[in-house]
Structure 1
Amino acid sequence: MEGRVAERLRGALGPLGFEVHAFKVGWYNAILQPGFHLPYPDDTLAFVVLSTPSMFDKALKPFVNKERLKIIRDPVDQCVSHHLSRVKEKFPDQKVDVIFDYEILPSRKPKFLAQTAAHVAGAAYYYQRKDVKLDPWEKKKKIYGVCIHPKYGGWFAIRGLLLFPDIQDGRYRDIIEVKERYSEEQKAYFATPPAERFRLLGLTQEAQRGTFH
C-alpha cells in the first residue's frame, strides 16, 4: 500500500520538481516534546514534500502564467497549495490531510517542524549543534540547525506534509497466508527512522553522514 501511494505521488509531483519521502508519524513524534506532536496515531503514513531547484521552471512559472490574475499572496505558497490540493484528487477513496510549511497554530507554534520531518523521512540530514565535534560557540549562544540534502545541499525547501490517516499499520501484509515473515529484529529495523538505522547495524555516525552527502 505504502509503495503504491508513494509511486502515485511521485508520478504526480516529480515532473513538477517536487520530491516526496515517506515516514511514520511515530518516528516524528518520538523525538519531539508533546507540544509539537502531530495529532495522529504512531502508525499513520505521512510524506514530507520538498521542492527542488527545478520546481521554479517546472511548476512556479507555468502556474504564475496561468493564474496571474488569481495570485493575491505569496506565489510560491499558492503554487504549492494548488499542486498538493490536486494530488488529493488522485486519492478519491482515501482521506488525505495536507499541512503546509507556513501554517501555524493559535499558540504561534508551527503546525509541524519541517527540518525534523525531513530528517526522520531520510530526505535530508538535519545537522544540529550536537553534531559539531569541536563546538566554537559560547554555551549560552543559540545555534540553529540546518538540513542538508544529499543531491542539492541547501538548495531546496520543505513545503509541506501529506498525511494518510486511513493507511496505518502493516496488517495488510498478512492479507494472504504467507510462507515467511520478517523477524522481530528486521521489523524493528524497518520501523526505525532511516536516520537512526545505522546505529542498529552497529555502524558509525560518520558512515551514516556519508549517506547524506
Structure 2
Amino acid sequence: MTMATDLNAKTIVEIVKNLLDNVGFEVHPFKLGWYNECVDKPFVLPYDSDTLALLVISTPHMYDKAFRPFICRQQCDGVRDPIDQCVAHHFKLVKEKFPDTEVEAVHDFELNHNRRPKILVQTAGHVAGAAFYYHRKDVVPDHWDVKQKIFGVSVHPKYGGWFALRGVLIFKAITCPELVQTTPPDVIPDRDTRIELLERFNMHWQDWTYRDIIPVTEKYSEQQKEYFATKPGERQAIVQTIKESVDSVTE
C-alpha cells in the first residue's frame, strides 16, 4: 500500500483523484468555510474555515467501474443499499492512504440524531465548483404560488442530472488557505429553462426528464437506470442477477 508523506492539500487531492478517478468518481476540493457560509447554523461543520474537504461525485461510469466489481467481490450485508456500501468501501480505501491523518467521511445518506442530514451535499457541490445548485431563488421574478414548496436540484456541466453527490472527505488537520474558489458552470442561464428544470424535478421526477435538461456526454446504462428506479428494498434481486451473470462468464 502506498502511504502519503509530507502532506499538503495539493498532494492529497492528487492522491485521492488517482485513486477514485479510474473507478468512475470525480473529486473536487473546497474549503469548509465556503460551505459554512452558505448553510444555516444547524448544518455548520465545526472546523477551521480553511480546512480541506473533498467532494466526491459518482459519474455514470461508476456503476460498471466500481459498483459491479464491488458486489462481485464483497458480501453485501443487506442492511444498507449496496451502492452506499460500495461508496463507503472506496471512502475507506481513501482513508487508508492517510494513516497518520484524521479523515472524516461524511456520506450523503447519513443523518444526525435529529434526523437532519449531516451534510448538504448539493450545497457542497456548488461551493466546490462541481455542479450548479439551482434554487427557487434563481428564478426571478418568482414563478410559483408562495405556498408551493419547490426543492432545488444540481446540474453537472457534463452529465446533467446523470450523476450523484456521494459525500465529503474532511481532512481535519489540513488547511488550504491558498485554494481559490471557482463558480460552477451556470449551464441553465435563462429563466424559462430554470422553471422547466425545477418543475420537472419537483413534479415529474419519476420520469427522469430533468436529468436531460442539457445535452450530456454520458448517461446511465439501461441496467443502471433499472437499479436506481427500483425501490431500495427490492434491489437485491438486481444485485443477484449481476453476480450470476459474472459467474456464468467465469465458469
Give the TM-score normalised by the residue count of structure 1: 0.80
Q: After TM superposition, give the deviation of residue 194 of structure 1 in Å.
A: 2.0
Structure 1 residues 59-70: aligned runs within 5 Å: 59-68=66-75, 70=77
Match in the other structure for 1:2 = 9
Query: Does the CA contact (< 8 Å) of 2:157 and 2:187 recur in 1?
Result: no
Structure 1 residues 210 and 148: alpha-carbon distance in aligned structure 2, compared to 1, 3 A threshold: closer
Matched, 1:133 2:140: yes
Q: After TM superposition, give the deviation of residue 95 of structure 1 in Å.
A: 1.2
Query: Does the CA contact (< 8 Å) of 2:59 and 2:159 recur in 1?
Result: yes
CA distance in 2, matches of 1:62, 1:38: 34
Name the SS for the 2:118 alignment partner.
Answer: coil
2:59 maps to which of 49, 52, 62: 52
Structure 1 residues 138 and 44: alpha-carbon distance in aligned structure 2, compared to 1, 3 A threshold: same
Matched, 1:158 2:165: yes
Structure 1 residues 5-24: aligned runs within 5 Å: 5-24=12-31
Match in the other structure for 1:90 = 97
Stretches of structure 2 lacking an aligned partner (at least 5 in a row)? 1-7, 190-213, 215-251
Structure 1 residues 156 and 32: alpha-carbon distance in aligned structure 2, compared to 1, 3 A threshold: same
Matched, 1:34 2:11: no
Name the SS for the 1:154 alignment partner.
Answer: coil
Q: After TM superposition, give the deviation of residue 40 of structure 1 in Å.
A: 1.1
Query: Does the CA contact (< 8 Å) of 1:49 and 1:161 recur in 2?
Result: yes
Name the SS for the 2:174 alignment partner.
Answer: coil
Matched, 1:149 2:137: no
Matched, 1:209 2:186: yes
Q: Deviations over 1:55-83 (max 9, x none)?
A: 00000000011114645431000000011
CA distance in 2, matches of 1:60, 1:109: 27
Matched, 1:120 2:127: yes
CA distance in 2, matches of 1:135, 1:53: 33
Q: What amino acid is aligned across from residue 96 of structure 2 in structure 1?
A: E
Q: CA RMSD in A?
A: 2.1
Q: Deviations over 1:162-195 (max 9, x none)?
A: 000111154xxxxxxxxxxxxxxxx7xx65x422
Runs of 4+ in 1 over 3 A off after TM superposition: 68-72, 210-213
CA distance in 2, matches of 1:19, 1:74: 21
Query: Does the CA contact (< 8 Å) of 1:25 and 1:46 recur in 2?
Result: yes
CA distance in 2, matches of 1:56, 1:63: 10
Query: Does the CA contact (< 8 Å) of 2:101 and 2:171 recur in 1?
Result: yes
Structure 1 residues 162-201: aligned runs within 5 Å: 162-170=169-177, 193-195=181-183
Query: Does the CA contact (< 8 Å) of 1:128 and 1:145 recur in 2?
Result: yes
Query: Does the CA contact (< 8 Å) of 2:76 and 2:85 recur in 1?
Result: no
Name the SS for the 1:91 alignment partner.
Answer: coil
Query: Does the CA contact (< 8 Å) of 1:150 and 1:211 recur in 2?
Result: no
Match in the other structure for 2:236 = none
CA distance in 2, matches of 1:101, 1:31: 17
Stretches of structure 1 lacking an aligned partner (at least 5 in a row)? 171-186, 197-207
CA distance in 1, matches of 2:80, 2:138: 38
CA distance in 2, matches of 1:100, 1:142: 25
